[in-house]
Amino acid sequence: MRRLLVAAAFAAAVGCGKKPEPPPADAGAPDAAAAPEVPERDRLLSQFKTKRGDPQRKAGDDLAALAESDPAVIDAVVELLRDRTTNGPGTTHPQRVGSTREAAAMLLVRCGPKGEAALKDRGLRALGEGLADKDAAVREHTAYTLGLLGSAAKPVASSLQRLCSDPDAKVAAVAFDAVASVGVADITAFVPLLTSENEATKRRAAEIVGVLPEVPGDAVPTLARALADADPLVRAAAASGITAANGKGVTAKTGEAVGAAIRASFPTKAESEVVRLDAPEFALWPALRSCGKHAAKPAADLLGHGNPLVRQLAARVLGDLGPDAKEAAEPLRKALADDFANVALEAGGALVRIGEKADEVDALVRAALASLNPGVAAEAIGAVGRMGPAGATHHAAVLGKLDSPLPDARFAALGFVRTLPPAERVKQLPAIGKALGDMEPLVRGRAAGILEDLGPAAVPAAGAARDALSKEEEPGVQEQLVNALAAMGPGAKAAVGALLPLIADRAAGTAFREKLIATAAALDPASAEVAGAVKHAAASPDVGVRCAAARALGTLDPLPPDAAATLAKMARTDQEVAGRIAALRGLVAAGPRAKAVRADVQSVAEKGMPGADVWAKVALAAIDGDVTKAAPTIRENLSSRNTNARAAAAAALPLVGPTAADVPALTRVLRDPSPAGKAGAAAALARLGPAARDAIPKLVPLITDAESEVRVAAADAAAAVGLPAAAPAVPRLRDALREFPNDPPTVAAARRALARLGAEVEAPRAR
């Protein structure tokens, strides 16, 4: 009976095949029930969490865009920082995301100020929990993620530092790398790792301690103990740490420990081979000097060492100490009779510098200056330069050596000129100009370097530099001469004629032709001849030359009639991404003068490849009259997942003015695989000078990078940071000179940086 009732009800409901009239609309009734739609945010978060590679990147891009209007996105991503999913132990990689934590942390950075604030306020605490996870893979990937964040992760640096002693070797290795990026939280607690029984731990700790820009006094006793280690790299790191303490925490025991390390590290007699200043043992001498008055006795004791090089450097330290080394007067007097001229002359200079009378030294210096032994004369010139005002009586004789028949003496005399105040150096311009034609390449290169140092003040020697460049065949000296002309600026435009034939010379190296193009455009942007050379180079099959020409084309003034159109076409159609970016950089330089091609630039900004689109947006701001309006775009892309976008942002940042707040992002870019990214970030850091000191641990290794443009930018940045923070760069700069002697840009940059940091390029030699 029940079945019949149900059937009858069903029939009544559906009728006899006739469709019933729809019920009247009710504006207040809810819509018919439907399957709930998954919110876009949840869908994207699910993809971001469960996918890898391109799908995850795409979901991340969409989430970063959605976060601007949906605050819940950032909250959800912060929660993902607690996700324990990883690719397993030993799988961290700079080109692949290895964990959900890593992906989430970098997404927060890409979400702009709100994402970074959430990371700082809540996210770092979540990541800190991962450092204590029972799973070694989670600890490893969490440490790696913090390393990617760089100095932004400093609030959890103490917990990260403890992982350097993790029992799992993979975790400890990643933790050391992360600490190098984030910074050492507690240096006093970190330096005992230099005395670990684990050799790998000691070496990794040495890599970090050796580049610390500053060390507290409390760490010095431990560093002094590490000087007794059998590993020369550990001893060198300990010495660098003592130097970075800059006298803090130093006692007589510290000086004794450094002196003992020197005695043990150098052979007991003169070496037959040329000594390398980048050898680990040379880090001990600045450490001894930094001990101040506590260095006097150990340095005086070293005057009795069997190696003449040790005796010379010990005398130099005593001279640097000045009156604090007064107690060493008698040992120094005894050293005036040393069999080696370099030791005797150094001892004489030191005696004068500690306050003793110059009478007993002057005769020795005069005799050495008159010596026909080229090495002895050169040593005498160097000693006079270090004597300060007390050596003034010998200045005329030293300057007379600019015309010496001995190449070593001429080279040393130019080195002396470089130590004079700028006003006194300018007085020597005729002699410096003459030295540009010296038969010895090293002499010619040093003369050109002095002109570069003087900058616009060297313009009276521009003609000599032009004539020298037209005859010069040594690539390294050519590089120095062009650097000198570039430093002189528009006042040297008469020298442009020597640059143009070299721009067209296909036998010249690409990097050199790039520099020639940039220099010619800077010296005389109004020259029709320069414009013709640049336009011709813009069609070169050599992409490097073509890029340099495109960048320079926009700087010409007046802008050639078809320049903007040429650059716009290149920005759209060049076969190389680098060519398109260079063209856009040229349009940035052209600014409002390129207004006619704004629509073309807009198209690239909307549809261009990563990197090109960033530069297109910067170009639009420049064309509209205010390039600084591109600052938000540039800073956003510093944290882009795309390597080309990061490189473009780093290179563009100087246009809007980098600040100290940009250092963490730029330091992260220094770790990029892209040479353009590393070079661009280093160049931006150079603009910040001492404010970029936290980037020194990452800049120093790049001084010997595989790519020339990176080496040059890193050397310039280290020099811009200056002392004392950049002291760890000095050994690496010497490494670069030794490892890349046939790369003129690297040699010039390393020598320039060493000079700015007050460091010697070549080691003293026993004479």
Query: How many CB atoms within 10 Å of residue 507?
Result: 6
CA angle, residues 485, 491, 496, in degrees to nearest 5: 55
Domain end call among 166, 185, 204: 185
What does the pLDDT look like over 472-521, one tens digit per residue? 999 989 999 999 999 999 999 999 999 999 999 988 889 899 999 999 99
**Which residues are registered as beta bridge partners of 86?**
99
Task: Decide: 684 and 662 in contact? Cβ < 8 Å.
Answer: yes
Of residues 256 and 5, more confidently modeled? 256
C-alpha triplet 609, 612, 613: angle, nearest 5°: 80
Contacts 24+ apart (CB under 8 A), 276-281: 276/734, 276/738, 276/763, 277/731, 277/734, 277/760, 277/761, 277/762, 277/763, 278/731, 278/732, 278/734, 278/735, 278/738, 280/232, 280/233, 280/235, 280/236, 281/232, 281/235, 281/236
Give the mean model confidence (pLDDT) for residues 103-113.
87
Which of 185, 217, 237 is where one domain is finished? 185
**Assigned domain for 90 exists:** yes
Report residue 579 as tokens: 């060519």
Q: Is 116 helix (H, G, I), strand (E, B) or coil?
A: helix
pLDDT of residue 8: 40
Q: For the chain, give the number of residues.
A: 767
Asked whether residue 156 is assigned to any structural domain, the reply reads yes
Three-class secondary structure of residue 93 per DSSP: strand
Classified as helix, coil or strand, 450 is helix
**What torsion, rounded to 10 degrees, do the Cα atoms 342, 344, 347, 349 define?**
-70
Residue 688 lies in a domain: yes
Q: Around Cβ 216, how many Cβ atoms within 10 Å? A: 14
Structure tokens at 622: 């420049």
For residue 432, pLDDT beyond 90: yes
Specify the DSSP element, H or E, that contains 43: helix 40-50
Confidence check: pLDDT of 377 > 60: yes
Final residue of a structural domain among 131, 158, 185 = 185
Tell whether 173 is covered by a domain. Answer: yes
Total domain count, the chain:
2
How many Å apart are CA 497 and CA 466, to the nearest integer?
8
Contacts (Cβ under 8 Å, ≥6 apart) of 143: 131, 160, 163, 171, 174, 175, 178
pLDDT tens profile 702-725: 999 999 999 999 999 999 999 888
- The verdict on whether omega for the bond into residue 558 sits within 30 degrees of 0, i.e. cis, is yes
Is pLDDT of 3 > 70?
no
CATH label of the domain that carries residue 77? 1.25.10
In terms of pTM, does the model score above 0.85? no
The CATH number given to whatever domain includes residue 764 is 1.25.10.10
Give the chain's mean pLDDT.
90
Q: Is residue 679 part of a domain?
A: yes
Q: What would the pLDDT profile of 165-179 be if each residue is shown by its tens digit?
A: 999 999 999 999 999
Domain for residue 378, yes or no?
no
Q: What is the pLDDT of residue 487?
A: 95
Residue 191 lies in a domain: no
Q: Are 366 and 397 in contact (CB under 8 A)?
A: yes
Spatial CB neighbours of 363, under 8 Å, sequence gap ≥ 6? none
**Residue at 91 is within a domain:** yes
Q: How far is CA 423 from the centre of its chain?
A: 31
Residue numbers of the domain that contains 743? 658-767
- First-to-final CA distance of the chain: 125
pLDDT at 272: 59
For residue 107, what is the enclosing H or E element?
Answer: helix 100-110
DSSP state of 681: H
